[in-house]
Amino acid sequence: MKTFKFIYFLLAVSFLMVSCGKDEILDSVEPESAKPEESISTRAGLKAIGSGVMMQAFYWDVPAGGTWWNVVKGKVSSWSNAGVDAIWLPPVSKAQNGTFSMGYDPFDYYDFGQYNQMGSTETRFGSKTELESLISRAHNNGLSVIADIVINHNSGGDLEWNEFAGKNTYTKFNPMSNKFNRTKYDFHPNESYNSDSGIFGGFPDLSHKKAYVQDWLWKRSNSVAKYYKNTMGFDGWRFDYVKGFEPWVVREWKNAVGGFSVGEYWDGNVNTLDWWTSEAQVSAFDFACYYKMRDAFVGNNLNALSGDMLWKRNASRAVTFVANHDTDEIYTNKLLAYAYILTHEGYPALFYRDYEDWLDKNKLNNLIWIHNNLAGGNTSNLWTDNDEYIARRNGGGGKNGLIVYINNSNSWKERWIQTNWSSRRIKDYTGNSSWEPITQGGKWVKIQAPPKGYTVWSLK
């Protein structure tokens, strides 16, 4: 969830919402289980989620004016060709601030840019017709489309007397879609429930234990979940701010409609992430990995990569990332961080601006190819110190495995390491080294990596 950067109007009052040691085996798993648990697509003709990488197809404050859906539509073919298997879109429904909003202040869950309300017909990103065209183009290119679901809080309701709060509250919602109308009885506090896990930004907080709220969110035949999947064509879900409600909410949504699901539980504590994914029975963004990479690549100490991460606990429920629309703290050595997540277990996500604007797209495409074609099996840590990190993917699922060598020093480095291949020629698939050594009978070989760079070795 992004800290809000738009003007939030409440009647006539407006205010700004700002808004590892050598030879360590890292949580061995069977090669088949390293993909996301929801890896089999439910829609014919799409790539299995987990066969490639996810693209976060937006950033904070993308250009307004209703053009974004068409921008993304123009890129899905090249993304698919590069090895992307799913795109994650921002919240698609009409929010209180209309064309000014990034969608995280939802008002009408069924207005995708077709109703004139909240100051506009289109959303910031475009019209319903343009959204449908984008989804169709994505599907035609084999890509799943992941919806950003904001169900902790709502915004834009009218004022009503609220005896449960003892004051007037903005909890009367009469959207033009005439679907999921809401009143004070659907938010906290109400006649039955005072609160849940947490509120956000002072917005009305949905009460998920209320039967009416459950019906409209995921149970009814035209619930938000079923309408988004069956009518709009979404294939999966990114749940915003899941700290604000209990994990059973996500679990019940997923059980009702299926599809790949990942929660934004913003916490670097791997125990907490492991608990939440177990309770919700879906994936989570691996913030533990993110913060360890920040310490490693910004703090210039690769020993941080020896720390615990969600992908080391349960790779099938870890979505790894280097940056997103909320946080972009790995501002140095970012390509090394991508070399890390694209060679390791978990389901990697790419950030739009990194791929399209800021980093070398050819190098990222090379790493995507390596991930999709070589990075199979569990992980063995071969070497970690302040400046060097070497790990082996042991192969499986039709992939030979690889050795990744990350060098954060200012000079070339070389090391003898043990592979899984005896008397075989290997090469660096990044092109950063021209060596093509033959492994010894005992599977040992010397490899190298350039300064502030990386190499990825596998069978030639």
In the numeric block, the tokens 């009702």 are attached to 256
Three-state secondary-structure class, residue 311:
helix
Q: Which residues contact 290 (CB under 8 A, 6 or more apart)?
A: 268, 320, 321, 322, 327, 330
Q: Output the pLDDT for position 38.
A: 53
| Segment 42-58 mean pLDDT | 94
- Can you list the positions of beta strands (E) in 163-294? 167-172, 236-239, 260-263, 283-285
Multiple choice CATH, 36-378, 3.20.20.80, 3.30.310.50, 3.50.50.60, 3.40.50.410: 3.20.20.80
- Would the pLDDT of 26 be above 70? no
In the numeric block, the tokens 């035949």 are attached to 221
Structure tokens at 325: 């629309």
| Segment 175-202 mean pLDDT | 96
**Chain mean pLDDT for the chain:** 93
Q: Output the pLDDT for position 34.
A: 56
- Would the pLDDT of 251 be above 70? yes
Q: Output the pLDDT for position 33.
A: 42
Q: How many beta carbons lie within 10 A of that of residue 409, not counting itself?
A: 17
Q: Output the pLDDT for position 36.
A: 76
Provide the residue type at 452 as one letter: K
What's the pLDDT tens digit per position in 406-442?
A: 999 999 999 999 999 999 999 999 999 999 999 999 9
- Would the pLDDT of 13 be above 60? no
Of residues 36 and 38, the one with the higher pLDDT is 36
What's the pLDDT tens digit per position in 279-310?
A: 999 999 999 999 999 999 999 999 999 999 99
| Segment 218-235 mean pLDDT | 98
DSSP 87: E
Q: How many beta carbons lie within 10 A of that of residue 416, not counting itself?
A: 11
Q: How does 25-57 read in b/e, with b if 16+ C-beta sit within 10 Å?
A: ebeebebebbbbbbbebeeeebbbbbbbbbbbb
| Segment 212-238 mean pLDDT | 98
Task: Give whole-number Cα distances, 146 to 1, 27, 271, 294, 346, in Å.
Answer: 16, 29, 26, 26, 17
| Segment 226-232 mean pLDDT | 98
How far apart CA 440 and CA 422 sit, in angstroms, is 6
What's the pLDDT tens digit per position in 109-142?
A: 999 999 999 999 999 999 999 999 999 999 999 9
Nearest to 89 by CA among 124, 39, 51: 124
122 exposed, middle or buried (CB, 10 Å; 0-12, 13-18, 19+)? buried
> Are 259 and 237 within 8 A, CB to CB?
yes
- Does the pTM surpass 0.75? The reply is yes
How far apart CA 258 and CA 236 sit, in angstroms, is 8
Beta bridge partners of 458: 427
Rg (CA), the chain: 23
Residue 143's pLDDT band (cuts 50, 70, 90) = very high
DSSP 78: H
| Segment 323-348 mean pLDDT | 98
- Would the pLDDT of 355 be above 70? yes
Q: How does 244-270 read in b/e, with b if 16+ C-beta sit within 10 Å?
A: bbebebbebbbebbbbbbbbbbbbbeb
Q: Output the pLDDT for position 75.
A: 98
- Would the pLDDT of 52 be above 70? yes
Q: Output the pLDDT for position 428.
A: 99
Of residues 289 and 16, the one with the higher pLDDT is 289
Residue 71's pLDDT band (cuts 50, 70, 90) = very high
> Are 180 and 111 within 8 A, CB to CB?
no
How far apart CA 190 and CA 149 sit, in angstroms, is 23
What's the pLDDT tens digit per position in 386-398?
A: 999 999 999 999 9
- Can you list the positions of beta strands (E) in 72-212? 84-88, 94-95, 106-108, 144-149, 158-162, 167-172
- Per the document, the length of the chain is 460
> Are 326 and 314 within 8 A, CB to CB?
no
- Would the pLDDT of 166 be above 50? yes
